[in-house]
Amino acid sequence: MDVVGQYIAELGIKAEDGVEALLESMSRKFGRNEAEDYVSNLIGLRRSNPQLFYEEKNADYEKAMLFSGAFDEGILRSACSWLITRKEIFGPTILEIGCDCGFMTCFLGKMFPESKITSIDRGKNGIAIAKRNEQRLGIRNVEFLQTDVKKLKNRAFDTVFSMRTAPENAKKRPVDHIFDNWKLASEGYSHFFEAYARVLRGLTAEKGHVITVERLDKSSILLGWIKALNKAGIIADFDRLAFLEMPEISRPLDLSVIEGSLGERVSIEEIEKKWSAINSFDPAKSRWTDDEVLPALTGKAGRMIRGTRILGQHGEAVGQFACYNVINDPNHFLYLCDSGNSGKQLILFTKDEESDIIENYLAQIKHNKNSGLCAVKLA
């Protein structure tokens, strides 16, 4: 078995093929009612109150390991596999922000036994679980601190490692604004992230590295994060940007890795040029993440009048639609929709058809996915 597979086996976590499979595993240990209560409580809290979500998830060691393992094994596997290809950028002192159950912590501890690792989390229960894993796996070089990273002052680390913490620390939680112009949208998102990027900068030693791993694909949000880091003086290495494919319990996702080092800010134009080079627009493959889609397809779209993304019960996108004005044609609107299994459509309708079209769309989505739908308004 490879190093990563061995580590995951030692940690004792297991991915599950969907929430039902997780419930079954959990029911064998705790009974169906307790398993259902635990999981449904967490699913409810995930978006509404992330901090409480972590405390409740991590209140019991066995449950936390089952739940986090079910969701995060794929992520952990991808991140660890990336890490062993880039060991040289991890220095003698490492800060890990947001260790949660310590899944990455213990891997860092194993990979860099000579380094001094400081792992922090604002959650008390997460730290307790991470410590238990650290002891169980015989790791000796980690100092755990329960604190918010913003309160960590007068410290500087050779490597600042942050995995899946940026959206939670944004001024406003960014929504993947799929219909926006990517340049403008990423500028907007960069403001959300600026303060957090400055915190990371403040904790990085002069010749140090910042590594961020986020559950973001090539989206405007990720570009916003890169721009925010840049404003704080953390310059992303575009040649080293990595997009790791990873399976996840609800849908396949990308995990993006940014390697940054301290330096002079790069101009926005330069960043956008580099971004365009790695994120070339391809209408055929487009998931609408780039809003050159519409002009490229039609040349007719004006301002978006209305746009909504529909989320399923686990926060996964199950459909989306957008209505646009048509340039120089006040009597029509362009309707772009994606209802999951029936594919994407781009249709020109008359203005008075708008409400029927949308009702129809929502009914169709409801029919396909019948529980826990919620809509995120994009315009």
Ligand X SMILES: C[S@@+](CC[C@H](N)C(=O)[O-])C[C@H]1O[C@@H](n2cnc3c(N)ncnc32)[C@H](O)[C@@H]1O
CB of 96 to ligand X, least distance (A): 7
Least distance between ligand X and beta carbon 311 (Å) = 18
Q: Which is nearer to ligand X, 24 or 168 (CB)?
A: 168
Q: Does the footprint of ligand X cover residue 123 (CB under 6 A)?
A: yes
CA distance 68 to 62: 10
Q: Taking CB positions, which residue lies at the least distance from ligand X?
A: 98
| Using rule CB under 6 A, residue 249 touches ligand X | no
* CB atoms inside a 10 Å sphere around CB 114: 6
* Alpha-carbon span 15 to 17, nearest angstrom: 7
Angle separating helix axes 61-83 and 19-30, nearest 10 degrees: 140
Q: Which tokens hold the place of 317?
A: 């996108």
Q: How far is the CB of 98 from ligand X (least distance, A)?
A: 2
Contact between 126 and ligand X by CB under 6 A: the answer reads yes
Q: Which amino acid is at 268?
A: I
Q: Tell me if 66 contacts ligand X by CB under 6 A.
A: no
String of contacts with ligand X for each residue 157-176, x by CB under 6 A: ------xxx--xx-------
Binding-site member from 148, 245, 270, 292 for ligand X (CB under 6 A): 148
Nearer to ligand X, 120 or 211 (CB): 120
Bridge partners, 96 (sequence order): 119, 161
Binding piece for ligand X, criterion CB under 6 A, among 35-43, 146-154, 348-356, 365-373: 146-154
Q: Which of 16, 23, 63, 72 binds ligand X (CB under 6 A)?
A: 72
Q: Which is nearer to ligand X, 105 or 279 (CB)?
A: 105
Site for ligand X in 83-122 (CB under 6 A): 97-98, 100, 103-104, 120-122
The vertex-72 CA angle with 67 and 73, nearest 5°, equals 105
**CA-CA distance, 258 to 222, in Å (whole number)?**
10
Pure H helices in 121-215? 124-136, 182-202
First to last CA, the chain: 49
Q: Single out the residue of 64, 149, 200, 294 in contact with ligand X (rule: CB under 6 A).
A: 149
CA distances from 176 to 45, 101, 258, 284, 339 (A): 20, 27, 19, 20, 17
Instruction: Pick the closer one to ligand X by CB: 99 or 226.
Output: 99
Q: Can you give the length of the chain in residues?
A: 379
Query: Interface with ligand X by CB under 6 A: which residues?
Result: 54, 72, 97-98, 100, 103-104, 120-123, 126, 148-150, 163-165, 168-169
